[in-house]
Amino acid sequence: MRLPMCPTHKSPITHPLSSLRRKEGLSHAAYAQLIARKHAELGFGTMAARREKIARWESGKVTPELTAQFTIARLHGVPRAEVLRLGWPHWLHVADEPSVPLCAPWTAEEALRSLRALTRSVRTPAPDDAHFTVCAGSVDQLLTHWQESSRTQPPAPQRAGRPPAEDTVTALEARHRQLRELCRTEAPSTSRVLADAELRMVTELLHSASYGTELGARLLTAAAHAACLTGLLAYELGDQAHAQAAYVAALRAGVLARDPEPGLWALVLLAAQQATQGAPDNALRLLAPADQPPHGPARAASPLPAVVHITRQAARTLLEPVAHTAPDDDFTATELDVLIRHTFTYDALPATAIAPQAHRGHTSPSGISSRERLV
């Protein structure tokens, strides 16, 4: 079966193990033989060297036994501690480049580590075959951790350093709003440079400054919004691995900030990415808790409820295009991209500006389509 192609960016969805194997220039059979030999050398015993085994692992439906994972980790220079800490398949990202694993522990320190890893990975351009996780089990695990952390609300990180002035944090918040508006008119490649710089600035403050509960929450909210923006721009440039890492980092920061809105935006952006990259079933999984407390948007004028509805509807259409034969139900990935981009970058857009069904064939009472209003 051929891998689904992204209608917008034309990049195939790949499992991280497949990406590592191809980077080594090995076929399924050659990779299986390599793992079997190393498995025996490490004292784990004999192992069948069948190409079908590698293919099943790369399908995301079968998880290798732990000794096989240790063997793969040894081949790619990943410590066993990371295998145990992150679990399959998330530790595979460690072998490729700095990234934010989907299911690393949901602690304050891990949230800051995720932001720092994200800013470092910006400096290294992603390879053409950079992967992102599409395994349904990984998505379900991510949601479970996010919901549990939202309910328990882990304590914010504690730092010893010079506290930032409140005016500095206020200026960062204003700068972010201006940057969002700039992204509506400038090319993603230009905007991403500025968005990445903003994320590094906020991340450095979170790591080096001391702050109380209120100021810390504002900094974490700013970091979550900045991560969402850099993720959206990375997505538009075809850097899917970085986009996913950014959205996961935003989810973590939003939980620590105890602000539901940036986390919910991250969830919607991640769902839209999954839908347009060929995994609309994962998008529906991600959006399932979006309407449930405590994840409702904080602002009464937030466009998020409408965007959640539209993204869910688009995912259903992309999941079962044959079942949606009416022209009015014909969503495309490009149309979803347009709606998500313009709604997110124009933060002041009220919910009433988005029709309940904002796609081709559905118009507002004024006769102007939602897409035209957004653009």
In terms of residues, how long is the chain? Answer: 375
Judge if 116 and 6 occupy the same domain: no
Structure tokens at 229: 């923006």
Q: Which of 57, 77, 93 is the last residue of a domain?
A: 93
Residue range of the domain that includes 195: 97-374
Contact criterion met (CB below 8 Å) for 252 and 290: no
Which residue bears the tokens 């998020």?
304
- Provide the pLDDT for residue 352: 44
Judge if 217 and 330 occupy the same domain: yes
Assign residue 26 the CATH number of its domain: 1.10.260
Residue 96 has pLDDT above 80, yes or no: no
- Provide the pLDDT for residue 298: 55
Q: Which of 73, 93, 113 is the last residue of a domain?
A: 93
The pTM for the full model equals 0.69
Judge if 330 and 248 occupy the same domain: yes
Judge if 126 and 55 occupy the same domain: no
Judge if 217 and 78 occupy the same domain: no
Q: Nearest 5°: CA angle at 104, between 98 and 109?
A: 85
Q: Which of 260, 250, 268, 255 is nearest to 294 (CA)?
A: 260
Q: Which of 63, 93, 123 is the last residue of a domain?
A: 93
Show Cβ contacts of residue 103 under 8 Å, excluding neighbours closer than 6 positions: 86, 87, 90, 138, 141, 142, 145
Lowest mean pLDDT among 81-95, 213-227, 233-247: 81-95
Judge if 35 and 107 occupy the same domain: no
Question: Which of the 8 DSSP states describes residue 324?
Answer: -
Cα(135)–Cα(149) distance, rounded to whole angstroms? 21
Judge if 24 and 106 occupy the same domain: no
Show Cβ contacts of residue 367 under 8 Å, excluding neighbours closer than 6 positions: none
Per-residue pLDDT of 102-151, as tens digits, reads 656 778 888 888 888 888 766 555 554 455 666 677 788 788 888 888 88
Show Cβ contacts of residue 114 under 8 Å, excluding neighbours closer than 6 positions: 100, 104, 245, 248, 249, 252
Residue type, 200: R
Structure tokens at 90: 């998330």
Structure tokens at 97: 């480049």
Per-residue pLDDT of 285-299, as tens digits, reads 999 888 776 665 556
Which residue bears the tokens 């500025």?
194
Per-residue pLDDT of 180-224, as tens digits, reads 888 878 888 888 999 999 999 999 888 888 888 888 889 999 999
- Provide the pLDDT for residue 271: 92
Judge if 193 and 263 occupy the same domain: yes
Q: Which of 230, 17, 6, 264 is nearest to 133 (CA)?
A: 17
Judge if 149 and 279 occupy the same domain: yes
DSSP result, 212-243:
-HHHHHHHHHHHHHHHHHHHHHHHHTT-HHHH
Give me the mean pLDDT over the 327-340 stretch: 68
Judge if 2 and 122 occupy the same domain: no
Judge if 82 and 225 occupy the same domain: no
Cα(18)–Cα(49) distance, rounded to whole angstroms? 16
- Provide the pLDDT for residue 361: 34
Distance of CA 155 to the CA centre of its chain: 23
Query: Which residue did the predictor score with more confidence, 241 or 7?
Result: 241
Judge if 296 and 186 occupy the same domain: yes
Q: How many domains does the chain have?
A: 2
Q: Which of 339, 335, 105, 118 is nearest to 241 (CA)?
A: 118
Cα(260)–Cα(252) distance, rounded to whole angstroms? 11
Residue 54 has pLDDT above 80, yes or no: yes
Show Cβ contacts of residue 36 under 8 Å, excluding neighbours closer than 6 positions: 46, 47, 48, 49
